[in-house]
Amino acid sequence: MADTHIPHPDLPPPVSIVGPIGWLRRHLLSSPLNIALTLLALCLLYIAIPPLLGWTVLNATWSGDSRDACQANSGACWVFIRVHFDQFMYGFYPDGQRWRVDLTALLLIFSAAPLFIRTVSSQTKLRIGLSILAIYPIIAFILLTGGWFGLAIVETSQWGGLLLTLVIAGVGMTAALPLGVLLALGRRSRLPAIQTLCVTFIEFWRGVPLITVLFMSSVMLPLFLPAGMSFDKLLRALIGVSLFQAAYMAEVVRGGLQAIPKGQFEAAAALGLGFWKMMGLIVLPQALKLVIPGIVNTFIALFKDTSLVLIIGLFDLLNMVHNATTNPAWLGFSTEGYVFAAAVYWLFCFGMSRYSQSLEKRLHTGHKR
Amino acid sequence: MPESPAPKPLSDQTMIQMDGVHKWYGAFHVLKDINLTVQKGERIVVCGPSGSGKSTAIRCINRLEEYQRGRIAVDGQELSNDVKQIERIRREVGMVFQHFNLFPHLTVLENCTLAPIWVRKLPRKEAEEAAMRYLERVKIPEQARKYPGQLSGGQQQRVAIARSLCMNPKIMLFDEPTSALDPEMIKEVLETMVTLAEDGMTMICVTHEMGFAKTVAHRVIFMDSGEIIEQNSPEEFFTHPKSDRTRLFLSQILHH
């Protein structure tokens, strides 16, 4: 007669490996070195936090509208930021027209909101995302530049602050990703002409610093254009940033394409899928998901690199802050200004990073092959 | 092993015709003068030592591999360099791979409906109904909403078979479909293939499952170093192999 094997029942884990005590032991006190490091970190925090907190919050001045209000306190003078806040957001965008900027931002926030809600199906999300990509740039362009529907024209030279930063970053990202995907596909193409073209393009743009690109677009390009012909400085910067970042994006995407096993291409081909359907339905969805960290890394770098446009005289957030610190009425508050600018940049970059993490988790379908 | 499917009279309609096919990888001559005619409804098992070119040979039929000399015609259409023509032929030729090659980012159902929707242009609903029918046939309709990564190897391979069947192919190619599976799972995949054989599907199967070859195949082909050494009915092939090479191979594969 055969013995029936009765599996041993699962026992609950001991207290030392679960719960808060387990967490402490595992993460902070797992070895003598770890204990020493934990103590050192506590020490550093003890030294650093009180003065930081004092300067930014406890001893800071929050109200008032001139620099005199700040004389009494030893901490930060946030009045400086409050007074210049509109400038930091809109640059030199005319006062009476700033609602247009707000409306543009609100439109984006509301139309994109469903993309961040978990219960919305991915099909709907795709549809919403594509329609935003198709329609929103046109609406934003009309709203911001004007000249249509009785809106006053606002020259792009008047755009500035966070508005300009977001415009450059937004255009750069939406142009760089698809362009980068095409370049990556081109670089892996078996057609020598396309491959050479893509390799040359990528290597050229990766080989020059962004500052050079911006300089060339604003100083050298006009030399080659016929006299009297010029096009918008912002537009030139946008094209420069987009092409530059597309080259980086192409290499990120190529990394993803190379990680897709040959069997996936073969299975798709064997079902009769053509090149674009194979890429669009089978290969790219997997490849792009693999390189989300790389894509977001490039996006974050792009977002921060927008500050380089100050070199060609565009007033993005950082340049507006810099400009305000040289205001004779507000000399001596550059620390507050740069801390504020850093905080805004950090907020956006951190947001992107968190979103990418949640995206990665959500797209994981429990496979390794 | 299940009962052998009732022998059906083969029609004289030629499904696959390979004439003098040669292939080189660089200087290496992988396929040497392959000639093969497959009738509609015929089931062929290709065996041989590894590196003998058997996978390469069947991968030429749907042009996953290029060949440098000779001609191949599938259901009367000759393979050319025309991409559209190749895609047309691939629609009619289903293929099952050693490593399943399911699309990991799509559910089982989506794996099965993708090609019918995008290549055959079937309406989604119709494609899903057909897919469910085939998933039932390979006995895993309850897994339709899962992702391939959540299934066992045997289940994945059965999904791969269903995915190919959803395109209503006229021919099925199997490239070592059980070689990557645990022994427990080989049986379920072979059973699925036997039911397919019972329905009269034209099949070419590269496999080392000699039991399957004995019960299902009309013809067994033995390949070595890029050549077809011997082909015969399974009875003749296993009991009276003609060449020494075949005898050596059979003695190794049957008594290990």
- Structure tokens that stand for A160 in this block: 């500035």
Which residue do the tokens 């005319």 mark? Answer: A94
- DSSP conformation letters of A132-189: HHHHHHHHHHHHHH--STTPPP--GGGB-HHHHHHHHHHHHHHHHHHHHHHHHHHHT-
Min Cα distance A292 → chain B (Å) is 15
CA distances from B120 to A71, A159, B116 (A): 77, 51, 5
A80: amino acid identity, one letter: F
B109: left (phi over 0), alpha (psi -120 to 50) or beta: alpha
Q: Of how many residues is chain B composed?
A: 256
**ipTM, 2 decimals?**
0.90
- In chain A, which stretches have pLDDT less than 50? 368-369
Q: How many CA atoms lie within 13 A of A159 on its CB side?
A: 24
pLDDT band at B57 (very low <50, low <70, confident <90, very high): very high
pLDDT band at B1 (very low <50, low <70, confident <90, very high): very low
B220: amino acid identity, one letter: V
Chain A residues in contact with B169 by the CB 8 A cut-off are none
- B94 in Cβ contact with B165 (< 8 Å): yes
Ranges A63-77, B82-96, B105-119, B122-136: which has the least confidence:
A63-77
DSSP state at residue A109: H
- Using DSSP, state whether B136 is helix, strand or coil: helix
Chain B residues in contact with A271 by the CB 8 A cut-off are 90-91, 114-115, 119, 163-164, 167
A286: amino acid identity, one letter: Q
Find, among B137, B144, B39, B154, the residue nearest to B96 by Cα. B154
Average pLDDT over chain B, rounded to an integer: 89
Which residue do the tokens 């707000």 mark? Answer: A102
- B46, β-bridge pairs: B206, B221
Say yes or no to pLDDT of B132 above 90: yes
Give the integer Cα–Cα distance in Å for A113 and A128: 10
**Cross-chain residue pair A272–B90, CB shorter than 8 Å:** yes
* Residue B247 contacts A where some CB pair is shorter than 8 Å: no
- Structure tokens that stand for A327 in this block: 């205001």
Give the integer Cα–Cα distance in Å for A207 and A216: 14
Give the integer Cα–Cα distance in Å for B28 and B32: 11
What's the confidence (pLDDT) of residue A62? Answer: 80
Min Cα distance B254 → chain A (Å) is 30
**Cross-chain residue pair B101–A266, CB shorter than 8 Å:** yes
Q: How would you classify the pairing of strands B28-39 and B14-25? A: antiparallel
Chain A residues in contact with B101 by the CB 8 A cut-off are 261, 263-264, 266-267
Residue-wise pLDDT for A297-348, tens only, equals 999 999 999 999 888 888 888 888 888 888 887 888 888 889 999 999 999 9
Min Cα distance A369 → chain B (Å) is 7
Min Cα distance B174 → chain A (Å) is 12
Give the DSSP H/E element, type plus range, for residue A123: helix A122-145
Nearest to B101 among A264, A275, A367 (CB): A264
Q: Of how many residues is chain A composed?
A: 369
Give the integer Cα–Cα distance in Å for B152 and A166: 48
- Structure tokens that stand for A346 in this block: 């950090």
Chain A residues in contact with B151 by the CB 8 A cut-off are none
- A182 in Cβ contact with A253 (< 8 Å): no
Chain B residues in contact with A277 by the CB 8 A cut-off are 118-119
Say yes or no to pLDDT of B9 above 60: no
Give the integer Cα–Cα distance in Å for A246 and A257: 16
Find, among B158, B79, B166, B60, the residue nearest to B116 by Cα. B166
- A112 in Cβ contact with A133 (< 8 Å): no
Say yes or no to pLDDT of B2 above 70: no
Portion of chain B with pLDDT greater than 70, in percent: 95
- A295 in Cβ contact with A249 (< 8 Å): yes
Nearest to A277 among B64, B118, B167 (CB): B118
Q: Which of A271, A277, A368 to mutate to test the interface with B (most CBs of B within 10 A)?
A: A271
Nearest to B104 among A266, A273, A367 (CB): A367
For residue B116, what is the nearest residue in chain A, using CA coordinates?
A271
In chain A, what are the domains? Answer: 84-93+154-363 (1.10.3720.10)
pLDDT band at B5 (very low <50, low <70, confident <90, very high): low
**Cross-chain residue pair A270–B95, CB shorter than 8 Å:** yes
Min Cα distance B55 → chain A (Å) is 13
For residue B64, what is the nearest residue in chain A, using CA coordinates?
A266
Q: Write out residues 92-111 of B within 8 Å (CB-CB) of A.
A: 93-95, 97, 99, 101-105
Chain A residues in contact with B83 by the CB 8 A cut-off are 274-275
Give the integer Cα–Cα distance in Å for A116 and A99: 25
Which strand ranges, in their side-by-side order, compose the sheet holding B202-206? B93-96, B171-175, B202-206, B43-47, B219-224, B227-232
**Cross-chain residue pair B115–A271, CB shorter than 8 Å:** yes
Nearest to A365 among B115, B119, B149 (CB): B149
What's the confidence (pLDDT) of residue A368? Answer: 45
Chain B residues in contact with A365 by the CB 8 A cut-off are 104-105, 147, 149
* Residue B149 contacts A where some CB pair is shorter than 8 Å: yes
For residue B117, what is the nearest residue in chain A, using CA coordinates?
A273
What's the confidence (pLDDT) of residue B8? Answer: 52
H-assigned helices in chain B:
54-61, 83-92, 108-118, 124-137, 153-165, 183-198, 210-216, 234-239, 244-254
Give the DSSP H/E element, type plus range, for residue B44: strand B43-47
Cβ neighbours of residue A361 closer than 8 Å, sequence gap 6 or more: none
Give the integer Cα–Cα distance in Å for B234 and B222: 11
B78: amino acid identity, one letter: E
- B222, β-bridge pairs: B47, B230
* Residue B119 contacts A where some CB pair is shorter than 8 Å: yes
Q: How would you classify the pairing of strands B77-78 and B69-74? A: antiparallel
- B202, β-bridge pairs: B171
* Residue B88 contacts A where some CB pair is shorter than 8 Å: yes
What's the confidence (pLDDT) of residue B43? Answer: 92
pTM over 0.80: yes
**Cross-chain residue pair B90–A269, CB shorter than 8 Å:** yes
**Cross-chain residue pair B147–A365, CB shorter than 8 Å:** yes
